[in-house]
């Protein structure tokens, strides 16, 4: 099933039957990726007295599970500026449209003098092509399948420098997607420089009037190696959580 999308006066054609799912499924096993010092998610049947909500146990006609997880720590998630602000903002209110013209870029983070691997402004400018894109999807190298079940806690993963995050903001990018657990350093003393730069948040306790309420950051995606850099439409699908972040399912559609 092919569809035509008119964007900035140009008609683009995509095949809706060929989605490229770049989300990581949430499972209750050690295969689940984990960040921020938590244990794996829990998915287990409801137990009430001697009744178990699991068909295979022979007492229930339905499977009836409780799920306990953290969207930031346990897989692909989309967040709004409410992630860092004193006042409450919900990603469910921030994201109201779901299809965006996007550029997929691949970058090998550079080793810095402090031992960190960082996506720098120069690297971003080297691959950036101005085309009025509203979303950018960043794949980092090396791009091993192990990312889909990586244990990130205490590993100081690569991250995005705040100047690069600010560049995306200045270029009109509203939706930033990345295959890392955070755009910021794992231990940064609460500075959150890249988050603040992208959302244009100057003071987390007193939100400035030009903060980017509609902008989102999606973390912990996985883009297979066979998906080439270039132009796509990305569909960011959310669970309707009234929270600063929600588990999400971003899907790429290649332009024909």
pLDDT (tens digit per residue) in 168-178: 999 999 999 99
Rounded to whole angstroms, how far apart are CA atoms 226 and 112? 29
Integer Cα distance of 256 and 247 in angstroms:
29
**Which domains are seen in the chain, by residue range?**
2-33+71-254 (3.50.30.50)
Q: What is the mean pLDDT of residues 52-58?
A: 93
Pairing of strands 216-219, 175-178: parallel
Percent residues over pLDDT 70 in the chain: 100
Separation between Cα atoms, residue 254 and residue 252, nearest integer Å: 6
**CA–CA separation, 5 vs 14, rounded Å?**
8
What is the number of other CB atoms lying within 10 angstroms of the CB of residue 213?
Answer: 14
Would you place residue 58 in the very low, low, confident or very high pLDDT band (cuts 50, 70, 90)?
confident
What is the structure's pLDDT at 59?
A: 85
Tell which phi-psi region holds residue 86, choosing left (phi > 0), alpha (psi between -120 and 50) or beta.
Answer: alpha
Split at pLDDT 50, 70, 90, the class of 243 is very high
Query: What pLDDT does residue 23 have?
Result: 98
Instruction: State the DSSP H helix or E strand holding residue 61, giving kind and residue range, or none if neither.
Output: none
- Read off the pTM: 0.97
């Amino acid at each position: 099933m092919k569809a035509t999308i008119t964007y900035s006066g140009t008609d683009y054609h995509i095949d809706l039957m060929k989605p490229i799912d770049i989300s990581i499924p949430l499972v209750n096993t050690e295969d689940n990726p984990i960040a921020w010092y938590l244990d794996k998610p829990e998915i287990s049947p409801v137990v009430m007295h001697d009744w178990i909500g699991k068909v295979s146990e022979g007492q229930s006609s339905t499977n009836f599970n409780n799920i306990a997880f953290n969207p930031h720590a346990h897989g692909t998630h989309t967040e709004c500026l409410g992630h860092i602000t004193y006042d409450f903002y919900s990603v469910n209110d921030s994201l109201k449209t779901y299809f965006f013209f996007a550029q997929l870029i691949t970058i090998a983070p550079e080793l810095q003098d402090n031992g960190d691997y960082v996506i720098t402004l120069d690297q971003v400018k080297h691959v950036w092509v101005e085309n009025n894109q509203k979303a950018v999807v960043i794949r980092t190298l090396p791009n091993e399948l192990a990312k889909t079940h990586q244990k990130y806690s205490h590993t100081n993963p690569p991250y995005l420098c705040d100047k690069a995050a600010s560049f995306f903001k200045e270029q009109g990018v509203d939706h930033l997607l990345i295959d890392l657990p955070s755009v910021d350093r794992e231990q940064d003393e609460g500075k959150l420089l890249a988050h603040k730069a992208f959302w244009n948040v100057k003071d987390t306790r007193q939100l400035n009037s030009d903060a980017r309420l509609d902008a989102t950051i999606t973390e912990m995606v996985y883009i297979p190696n066979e998906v080439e850099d270039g132009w796509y439409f990305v569909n960011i699908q959310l669970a309707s959580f009234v929270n600063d972040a929600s588990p999400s399912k971003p899907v790429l559609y290649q332009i024909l």
